[in-house]
Amino acid sequence: MTVVSRLSLDALKLARRKREVYTGPWLPEPLIEPVGAQRLEMAESLSIAFLHVLEQLSPTERVAFLLREVFETSYTELARTLETSEDNCRQIVARAKKHVRNGQPRFNVDHDQHSQVLQEFVVACASGNVAQLSKLLREDAVLFSDGGGKVRAALNPIVGAERITRFFMGLGNKGELRGLHAEFTTVNREPAILVFADNTLESVINLELDDSGRIVRIFLLVNPDKLPRIFPGSLQPPTTAP
C-alpha cells in the first residue's frame, strides 16, 4: 500500500502542477455509460460534483482523505506513507474532511426528478425560453465550463442565475446551438446530457440540483481531449422486436 500510495501522491503532484497552468476551470474526464446503467452504492463518490470538490484539495490532503475515509488505512500506515507524524496525519485528514464537507453536494435528489430537470433545461436552452431557464436555476447557481484552451469556453466560473441565463441565451442568439443534437445518458453514475454536432461529441453537461430540484451547479465539459469518441445513438438501449 505504501509504495502504491507514494506513486499516486507523486502523480497527483505532477497533475496539480499541470493544472496550475491549465486554461480555465478544470473538470474530471467523464465516465459515460449506457442509458439505464445500474447505479452503484458509492455512486455519489463518482459524481462530477464530488470529484470536483476533491480537486480543491492538495495532493497530500487528497491521498490522506481517500486512504483514511475510503480504505480505512490506519494512521500509523498513513504516517509511513506520507513520511510524517501520526498527529500531523490526523490534522491533514481533519482539514481535508472539512474542505470536502463544506464543498460536497448536500442534496438528495430523486433520479427521475434529476432526469426531468435535465430535459427541461435542454428545452429551455434550445428554445431560448429565458423565463423557463431562470425558473430552473437557483439565484446562486454556478456554471463551470472546461475548454482547456482547446475550444472557446468561459475562463472563469459564471456565478448567478442571471449571468448563466445570459450565457446560454447568448449562445442561442449567435446560432451556436443550431444543428446540435442532445442525448440523455448516465455520466459518473448520474443523469447527464451528451451534445453532438453531426457525429462528433461536442460537450457533456452535468447538473447538480438542490432538494427542491433547482440547479445549483452546471458542469459543462467541452475540452475535446477529454471527450471520448462515441457516436449518436451508440449508448441507447437496443430496441426489441415486437
Q: What is the CATH number of the domain that holds 190?
A: 3.10.450.50
- Residue 237, in any domain of the structure: no
Single-letter code of the amino acid located at 19: R
Is residue 20 located within the same domain as residue 89? yes
Q: What is the CATH number of the domain that holds 9?
A: 1.10.10
Report the number of distinct structural domains present in the chain.
Answer: 2
Question: CA–CA separation, 56 vs 85, rounded Å?
Answer: 24
Each residue's pLDDT tens digit, 10-48:
555 555 666 666 788 888 888 887 655 555 444 455 677
Is residue 99 located within the same domain as residue 118? no
Each residue's pLDDT tens digit, 145-195:
999 888 988 889 999 999 999 999 998 888 888 889 999 988 888 889 999
Is residue 95 located within the same domain as residue 115? no
Single-letter code of the amino acid located at 209: L
- Residue 121, in any domain of the structure: yes
Each residue's pLDDT tens digit, 113-154:
999 999 999 999 989 999 999 999 999 999 999 998 889 888
Contact assessment for residue 15 and residue 28, using Cβ atoms and an 8 Å cutoff: no
Question: CA–CA separation, 69 vs 44, rounded Å?
Answer: 14
Is residue 77 located within the same domain as residue 149? no
Is residue 141 located within the same domain as residue 197? yes
Decide: helix, strand or coil at residue 122. Answer: helix
Is residue 93 located within the same domain as residue 126? no
Is residue 134 located within the same domain as residue 118? yes
Task: Compute CA distances 162 → 155, 169, 207, 211, 216, whole Å.
Answer: 18, 10, 17, 21, 13
How big is the chain by its Cα radius of gyration, in Å? 20
177: left (phi over 0), alpha (psi -120 to 50) or beta: alpha
- Residue 231, in any domain of the structure: no
Domain, as residue range, for 222: 111-226
Mean pLDDT of 93-98: 88
Rounded to 5, what percent of the chain is helix, strand, coil? Answer: 45, 20, 35
C-alpha cell at 74: 490506519
Is residue 198 located within the same domain as residue 121? yes
